[in-house]
Amino acid sequence: MRFTRTNGWRAAGLAAGAVLLLIFLVASLLFGAKNYTWKAAWESLVRYDEESVEQVIIRTTRLPRALIAAAIGASLAIAGALMQTLTRNPLASPSVLGVNAGASFFVVFAAVLLSVSNLQALMWISFIGAAIAAVIVYVLGSAGRGGLTPLKIILAGAAMTALFASFTQGVLALDKQGLSTVLFWLTGTIAGRSPDMLGIIFPYMAISWVSAWLLAKGLNILTMGEETAKGLGQRTYLLKIAVGAIVVVLAGGSVAIAGPIGFIGIVVPHLSRYIAGIDHRWLIPYCAVCGAILLLAADICARFIMIPEEMPVGVMTAVIGAPFFMYIARRGLSK
């Protein structure tokens, strides 16, 4: 049974999603190795008292963590949706196509071998890594007769992922000290990340979210096919470059903060398309909200699975997302 998707329903759904997101944000503040009361959380936000231990923990650890999870979840989901539209491939996402791996390698290389610690610099390095990986995969995947076939681009992504992963391993093998500091980051984690990085990257992310939404109409036309889009007077190259840049900023930024967190970018767009339909003007906000909720939920779960240790959230998303990927692959790539 499926109801017709009128814009009223879609707006209502989005509002409900926003409420749910708020609930998960609060839950992220309250629950963990130690649970806090509503009162403590509220007071830490409005009447911050540096003397109170619990308020300090909420304010300096839990709050940044919740915000990072929400921002990254939204970014990766939007990046995934854009990549799926651009490559016309339901399996595309920053992790599968090697963009995350590219950004990770560049960050590890810079941080471990060149001892770069300036956050601003690391952000740009991460962007560059993501961009290089994205361009190579796109060119390889679309070279030859038949253009961008699903199998070609996925194989290109798998190859680039393997290549960058082995480079990363090589760097870490050269510097054993570096390994212990970045190993947890490499599995994808939002625990213990400093809020400074989010502060630097957030403006870029926010601009990308808005630009993605502004490009929605063009993306809708692009889904009808390259020829049709050109026939309707769209400058598809310009659009593709803009979308590519947005993907690079969103995926690269996320990696710079939290390491490679996979599969949010594939699960969420499918989920959102199921709820909101294929119109990008709705799809993109839905992706943002659902992605934020999903990563917050995964992060909260990651705290409870193996108390007192924490599970890297990247492992959680891989364990949930990889079977989903296989399901989509099995269902077929006829689209």
Partner 1 sequence: MKKTSLTAYLLVVVLFATAIISVCLGDMYISLFQVIQSFTGKGSEAHTMIIEMLRLPRITTALLVGASLAVAGSILQGVVRNPMASPEILGVTGGASAAAIAFLTFAAGTVSIRWLPVSALAGAGAVSLVLYVFAWKRGVTSMRLILIGVGMSALMSGVTTMMIVFNPKNDAGQAYTWLTGSVYAANWENVLLLLPWTAILLPLTMLMTRHVNIAQLGDDIATSSGSRVQLNRFILLMFSVALAGSAVSVGGAIGFVGLLAPHMARKLVGANFRRVMPVSALLGAIIVMLADLIGRTAFIPLDVPAGVFTAAIGAPFFIYLLYARRNES
C-alpha to C-alpha distance for 296 and 23, rounded to whole angstroms: 10
C-alpha to C-alpha distance for 121 and 125, rounded to whole angstroms: 6
**303 counts as binding partner 1 under rule CB under 8 A:** no
Nearer to partner 1, 17 or 259 (CB): 259
**158 counts as binding partner 1 under rule CB under 8 A:** yes
**263 counts as binding partner 1 under rule CB under 8 A:** yes
Percent composition of the chain: helix, strand, coil (DSSP 3-state, to 5): 75, 0, 25
Least gap, CB of 245 to partner 1 (angstroms) = 24
User: For the packed helices 195-214 and 119-142, what is the interaxial angle rounded to 10 degrees?
Assistant: 40
**134 counts as binding partner 1 under rule CB under 8 A:** no
> x/- string (CB under 8 A) for partner 1, residues 9-38?
------------------------------
Nearer to partner 1, 30 or 333 (CB): 333
**334 counts as binding partner 1 under rule CB under 8 A:** no
Contacts of 180 (CB under 8 A, 6+ apart): none
**116 counts as binding partner 1 under rule CB under 8 A:** no
**40 counts as binding partner 1 under rule CB under 8 A:** no
DSSP string, 122-152: HHHHHHHHHHHHHHHHHHHHH-STT-S-HHH
Give whole-number Cα distances, 22 to 29, 71, 229, in Å: 11, 13, 38
**306 counts as binding partner 1 under rule CB under 8 A:** yes
C-alpha to C-alpha distance for 162 and 158, rounded to whole angstroms: 6
User: For the packed helices 119-142 and 236-258, what is the interaxial angle rounded to 10 degrees?
Assistant: 130
Residues that contact partner 1, how many (by CB under 8 A): 53
C-alpha to C-alpha distance for 121 and 200, rounded to whole angstroms: 10
Least gap, CB of 163 to partner 1 (angstroms) = 4
Q: Which of 8, 146, 203, 233 binds partner 1 (CB under 8 A)?
A: 146
Residues that bind partner 1 (CB under 8 A): 91, 95-96, 140, 143-146, 149-152, 154-160, 162-163, 165-167, 169-170, 172-174, 176, 179-180, 183-184, 187, 262-263, 306, 309, 311-312, 314-315, 318-319, 321-323, 325-326, 329-330, 333
